[in-house]
Amino acid sequence: MDPTTGNYPKPPVPFIRGRVFPVRSHVTPPPTLVTRDCCRNFHHGREERAQLTPVARSLKHPPLPGDLGSDTLEFEILDPIRVGDGHNAQVFNVRISNTQPKSEIFQGRKELVAKVYDPLYLDDDDGFLNPFLCVDKHYTHEVHAYHVLSNLQGYLIPRFYGSYSLDIECEGADHRSDTRTVRLILIEPIPGVSMREADRSKIPQPERQQIIKSVIDFETEAYRRDIILTDLSPRNVMMVPPGLHPGGNLIFLDFGGAIFNRRLDEPVAAHLELFLGQYISPLIRWHGLLMLDFEEWVDWEWKPWVESEYAHTADTITPEMRAWYCP
């Protein structure tokens, strides 16, 4: 261990194939406020990082309380999806059992995906980020986004099967009688590969154009509901083989970075006219920066294509909207 950096060893990641965990339903608190430095680790936090082990810090900083529910279940870990140190969340396939009380929420489905917001294994950028504030933000924002987008579940986003709390027994001689608490969600598994993994060179241009249009349409619908999708990128868009999902060929994932009300929670932004709840045409929003994450999929002239695809929305644009989005 380097005492100046706090690089204490961490215990092995507990989310391994075959392990069974009991969880309890959890009513999530409201989304945390998002400001420019809301997840930053300041001097006191960096001092603590240098003095305490990761497990001791996790015990000192439990997740935001919310309310524990009365529903319980167990899940067995089947296969890892994204598990290990340095991830914002631990994600793996699970098999559900022993649901109490017997609930219709799972609709007979036994295999789901668990997404666990565990600060112990979050990459804190060498102490720049506060992992406990980060996971509180990711958890509360993701759950709230699933609620706001509820009628898109099972169609454009995964079906959401609830938020839960999990107590994990600590390892190590100093913490054998301790448990630490983490939060998680359960969602439906999505077959296929992400846009980042797909071989776009084998996809004809007209099909790629339809894919990009679907991305724009989803982002625009989320924005109409006053959500900014800060994590919208090819790695969070699943391409589903035809016929394997009722929602179609694209499913959108990962809403832990969602921003609500179209702005940060900064005092200076409180009185901005952001046309909340109104449709904002891609003609004035998808003119440049938003497409950068997807530019490797685009080998055509962008501006004329957007203008052609969304010409029918031109009459929704007011002079005030144009002044704000196209200064």
State phi, psi for 272 to the nearest 5 degrees: -70, 145
115 annotated as a binding-site residue: yes
CA distances from 90 to 23, 172, 200, 202, 222 (A): 15, 21, 28, 32, 25
Please state, as a whole number, how many other Cβ atoms lie within 10 Å of the Cβ of residue 321: 19
Handedness of CA 21, 78, 147, 224 (dihedral sign): positive
Strand order in the sheet with 193-194: 193-194, 237-239, 250-252
**Helices 302-309 and 205-224: angle between axes, nearest 10 degrees:** 60
Q: How far apart are CA 179 and CA 120, in angstroms?
A: 13
Q: How far apart are CA 296 and CA 251, in angstroms?
A: 19
Binding residue ranges for ATP: 115
